[in-house]
Chains A and B, each alone.
Chain A
Amino acid sequence: MITALTGRDLAVKRGERLLFEGLDFDVRAGGAVVVTGPNGAGKTSLIRAVAGLIAPVQGRIGFHGPAGPIEPDEARRAGCHLIGHQDGLKGARAAREELLFWTRWTGGGAASAHRAAVLLGLERILPLEVRLLSAGQRRRLALARLIAAPRSLWLLDEPFVSLDGAARATLQEILRRHLEEGGMVFAASHEPLPVAAQILELGR
């Protein structure tokens, strides 16, 4: 379980372009960070760097548990959820198959997947192929992983995109509960989070 995330003196490059440098942040259990900034400022790249998918050119990202620092690869494999622009869902597979696979892959089971589907109002669309779902339904299917498998650090890249009013409210409630239970949220979002969050502004 991850109880703190730190970034020190981070710099990330995409191609030849330096997106940001000297970036520091701290997230503790129950805390949230919202990354803001104009398009192309490096919000997605920062989230991918925390997820270990791209390597920062400088600085370090540290994960800590109750018993001290955790090896980053291990922390990411067992403690991180990522919701990105691409949802990783296969169009030709049934929504149920995809939800169950990603739930099991991230450490949950059939019962928790069912609970998540109920909470996000997905029961009726579970038998459908993913390619038949609307953008908002796909997004809810992707978000269901967050509840279906308990992991402490949520890396969310524009999690509210495509969601309707009711689904936004549900997600706000889910985030609030996750933070109350001692989880952490590291999000890029134009929408305010339902809790006090540290703002990390890129591209100034």
Chain B
Amino acid sequence: MSAAGTLLARELRLVFARGGGPLLALGFFACVAAVLPLAVGPAPGKLALVAQGAAWTALALSMLLGLDRLFEPDLDDGALDLLALGPLPLAFVGAIKCLAQWLVNGAPLALAAPIVEVALGGPPRAAPMMLAAGALGSLAFAFVGGTGAALVVAARRGGLLIAVIVIPLIVPPVIFGGVAIDAYASGQPWAPALALLGAYALAAVALSPLAMGAACRNALG
């Protein structure tokens, strides 16, 4: 097995070991969706109005779960030292950690997003775009989130700090995704917004590893 495959297999197991893997993120997602109607009120028209945006925001926030445990255990137990002496650069190690985060948390959230949106009373015709935007968006959230996690890994108890760093960075994909979902549901041209979301996700996949590698290096020294 190649080094990348070996590492991905380890990271997937570790994401599962960190608080139940996809179940935790899905549970959080479902809880936010269940609490929202209690705050907005029971009138169906009102809820339907915010259903898409609420599902989309809840998905973005659910992707923040577990980020504080992405690098910290490996730094604490010395595994990051050994990962630095492996065949792949630390930037690649960070990328594989984010990929595992996306596969275990992001993909199930993207699958659940259309269900949550419809359950909140949103139009069922928006469901395919919820899925597409959820898949692309969660990829961006995973990599940008990984960057935030790597940046604060040397500072102890960085859990909340990660959210403060990451949330401003995920504002653009949240906007692009929101516009794409809304345009698709209302029959307007949706391709440009989805393309921007995809571009952001690709840029995050390409650039975040460099930041993660440098941040991990810094945390080791």
Contacts and interface: CB of A to CB of B under 8 A. Distances in A.
B149 to A, nearest CB: 18
B6 A104 contact: yes
A81 B147 CA distance: 28
A176 to B, nearest CB: 24
Contacts, number: 71
Interface in B67-120: 73-74, 76-89
A55 B87 contact: no
A20 interface: no
Contacts of B89: 73, 77
B75 to A, nearest CB: 9
A159 B12 CA distance: 31
Contacts of A51: 81, 84-85
Given A104-B6, A105-B3, A105-B6, A52 B78 contact: no
A67 interface: no
28 contacts: A51-B85, A53-B84, A53-B220, A54-B220, A77-B85, A77-B89, A78-B87, A80-B85, A85-B78, A86-B77, A86-B81, A87-B78, A88-B77, A88-B78, A88-B81, A88-B82, A89-B79, A90-B73, A90-B77, A93-B13, A93-B17, A102-B82, A104-B1, A104-B6, A105-B3, A105-B7, A105-B82, A105-B86
B157 interface: no
Contacts of A118: none
B125 interface: no
Contacts of B73: 90
Interface residues of A, number: 29
Contact of A54 (B7, B17, B221): B221
A106 interface: yes
B46 interface: no
Contacts of A81: 85
B87 A105 contact: yes
Contact of A77 (B1, B77, B78, B87): B87
Contacts of B17: 90, 92-93
Contact of A53 (B13, B74, B81): B81
A54 B84 CA distance: 12
Q: Which 5 A-B pairs have the closest CB atoms?
A: A86-B78, A88-B79, A88-B78, A104-B6, A54-B221
A82 B77 contact: no
Contacts of B82: 82, 88, 102, 105-106
Interface in A42-92: 48, 51-55, 73, 76-78, 80-82, 84-90, 92
A27 B7 CA distance: 32
A37 B195 CA distance: 61
Contact of B6 (A76, A78, A86, A101): A101
A55 B77 contact: no
B14 interface: yes
B216 to A, nearest CB: 10
A121 interface: no
A146 B3 CA distance: 17
A107 interface: yes
